C-alpha cells in the first residue's frame, strides 16, 4: 500500500537545518554536518554517480531506504530554493541540485505562486502546487502509481503533514551533531506525534536511526 | 581530575521532563517514559535495593555510570520538589525520594530561599545554596573531595551551567519516546554547545547513548 513517509537527518538538539539558509548555505549554517554520515556511503555515492565508498552496514541500509519504493516526492518552497514571492524574480531557478536532481520521480513543490512544471534530467519533474497540502498529496499519490510518497522537507512542510494526521511512517537519523539553532523538526505539532510508535532503533558509531509508524 | 558532568534521559523531541510537574507527576506528564529503559536493569535495581533484573550490556554500563565517581550532586529547586517560594509553606518536604534518596553524597540544591541542611539516610545530605551556581559548584567540589560533581537537573539548571561554560562532560540517553511538550534540554543556550565534541555514540534496541566532552 502507498504510504506517506519521510526520512530525514536531525541534530541531537532537534534541528533539520541550520539558521540563515541562503544560496551559499542551502542547508543553513552548519546544516551540512547533519548529512556528513551519508557522504562516504556506497548508497549515496552510487546515487551521485560516484564509485567506491562504503560504510557501516546499518547506515548503508538507511541511506538506501531514503527513497525506498518512492514514486513521488513532496517538498516545501524553501527546500526547493531561496527564491521568495513570485517566480518572475528568478525564472531560471530549478532547485539546488543541478540538471539531474536525486529524485528521479515527479516532485510536488508547495508554493503560493503558480508555475509551469519543469522537466529535469534523470526523470525528475518539478510540479508546483498552489492549493494546499491535501491537493499535493493527492497529486503525488496519483503520480506515484501505488508506490510511496516521500516528504523531502523542510520542517514546516513535515509539521503541516504531521498536524493533519497524514504521515504513515517517519525515519529520523540522528548523528551526534549539536547545531544550537535552526529549523526544529518537532515543533508546532499540537500532540500529533502521540499517534506514533517506534518499530526500530539501531545505531552505528556515527548516527542513530529511529523508525516510527502511525498506530 | 574532578569533572562537572551530567547524565540524563531525553526524549527524541528534546525534553527531559513532561509538562505540568506536580506531586503526583514529579517528572511531568509522560516524563516517566523517559526512564523506562533503566527500570529493569540490574544496576538500577541494585541501587534501589532490589534483586535480579538485567538488560542490554550497553544500557547496564550507562545506568551504572549515571553517578560514576560522583562525590556530590547539584540540582535545581524544581527537581528537589514542587514547593515554590519560602520553605515555611512545606517545612517537611525532603525531596521526592523517600528517606533514602539514590544520591548517597552531599546534594546542593539551588534556591532563592535559605534553609538548614537536611541529613537523610544512606549518606545523602541536602544543602540549600542561595548565592548562585558558581557558589554551588565551589561547595560541591569541596564536598566531592576530588571526585566528580554531577548535575541532576532539571533543564534550567543544566542550561545555566552550560551557558556559563562550566560543564566538562555530558551524557544524553535518548529512548524512542516523543513527549510533545515539556522541559527542553537544548534551549536558551546561546551557542554554548559548540564547545562540545562527541566521544561515543552507542545504542541498544531501546535507547541511544551520546557522550560529549568539552573541547
Residue A62: what pLDDT?
Answer: 94
Higher pLDDT, A100 or B89: A100
pLDDT value for A112: 95
* Chain A contact set for B14 (CB, 8 A): 13-14, 186
Residue A93: inside a domain: no
Residue A32 lies in a domain: yes
Q: Is the pTM of this model over 0.90?
A: yes
Shortest Cα distance from B203 to chain A (angstroms)? 6
Which residues fall within 8 angstroms of residue B169, CB to CB, at 6 or more apart? Answer: B3, B4, B5, B6, B211, B212, B213, B214
Chain B nearest C-alpha distance from A169 (Å): 14
Query: Domain for residue A24, yes or no?
Result: yes
- Residue A134 inside a domain? The answer is yes
For residue B133, name the pLDDT band (cuts at 50, 70, 90).
very high
Q: List the CATH number of the domain containing B141.
A: 3.40.430.10
Q: Under a CB-based contact definition with an 8 Å cutoff, are residues A112 and A78 in contact?
A: no
Instruction: Tell me what pLDDT residue A60 has.
Output: 95
Mean pLDDT confidence for A168-185: 97
Rounded to whole angstroms, how far apart are CA atoms B34 and B37? 7
- Is residue A94 a part of any domain in this protein? no
Q: Looking at CA atoms only, how far is residue B140 from chain A in angstroms?
A: 28
Q: Which domain holds residue B115?
A: 4-87+99-214
ipTM of the complex: 0.94
Q: Would you say residue B70 lies in a domain?
A: yes
**Tens digit of pLDDT for each residue in B37-94?**
999 999 888 888 888 888 999 999 999 888 778 999 999 999 999 888 899 888 889 9
* Nearest CB partner across the interface for A201, out of B176, B178, B193: B176
Name the closest residue on chain A to residue B16, using Cα atoms: A13
> Is B190 part of a structural domain of the chain?
yes
CA distance A64 to B98: 51
Domain count, chain B: 1
Q: Nearest CA to B94 among B69, B70, B116?
A: B116
Does residue B92 sit within a domain?
Answer: no
- The B-side interface with A (CB below 8 A) comprises 12-14, 172, 174-176, 178, 180-181, 185-186, 189, 191-194, 196, 198, 200-208, 210, 212
Amino acid at each position: 500500500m502507498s504510504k506517506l513517509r519521510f526520512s530525514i537527518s536531525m541534530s541531537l538538539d532537534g534541528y533539520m537545518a541550520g539558521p540563515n539558509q541562503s544560496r551559499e548555505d542551502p542547508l543553513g549554517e552548519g546544516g551540512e554536518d547533519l548529512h556528513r554520515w551519508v557522504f562516504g556511503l556506497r548508497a549515496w555515492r552510487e546515487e551521485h554517480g560516484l564509485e567506491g565508498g562504503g560504510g557501516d552496514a546499518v547506515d548503508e541500509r538507511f541511506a538506501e531506504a531514503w527513497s525506498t519504493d518512492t514514486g513521488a516526492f513532496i517538498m516545501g518552497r524553501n527546500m526547493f530554493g531561496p527564491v521568495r514571492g513570485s517566480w518572475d524574480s528568478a525564472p531560471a531557478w530549478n532547485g539546488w541540485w543541478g540538471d539531474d536532481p536525486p529524485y528521479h520521480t515527479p516532485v510536488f513543490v508547495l508554493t503560493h505562486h503558480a508555475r509551469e512544471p519543469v522537466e529535469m534530467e534523470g526523470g525528475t519533474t518539478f510540479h508546483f502546487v498552489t492549493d494546499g497540502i491535501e491537493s499535493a498529496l493527492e497529486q503525488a499519490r496519483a503520480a506515484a502509481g501505488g508506490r510511496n510518497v516521500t516528504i523531502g522537507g523542510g520542517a514546516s512542510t513535515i509539521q503541516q503533514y504531521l498536524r493533519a494526521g497524514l504521515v504513515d511512517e517517519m525515519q529520523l537519523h540522528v548523528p551526534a551533531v549539536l547545531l544550537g539553532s535552526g529549523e526544529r523538526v518537532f515543533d508546532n505539532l499540537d500532540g500529533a506525534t502521540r499517534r506514533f510508535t517506534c518499530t526500530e532503533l539501531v545505531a552505528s558509531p556515527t548516527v542513530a536511526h529511529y523508525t516510527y509508524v502511525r498506530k
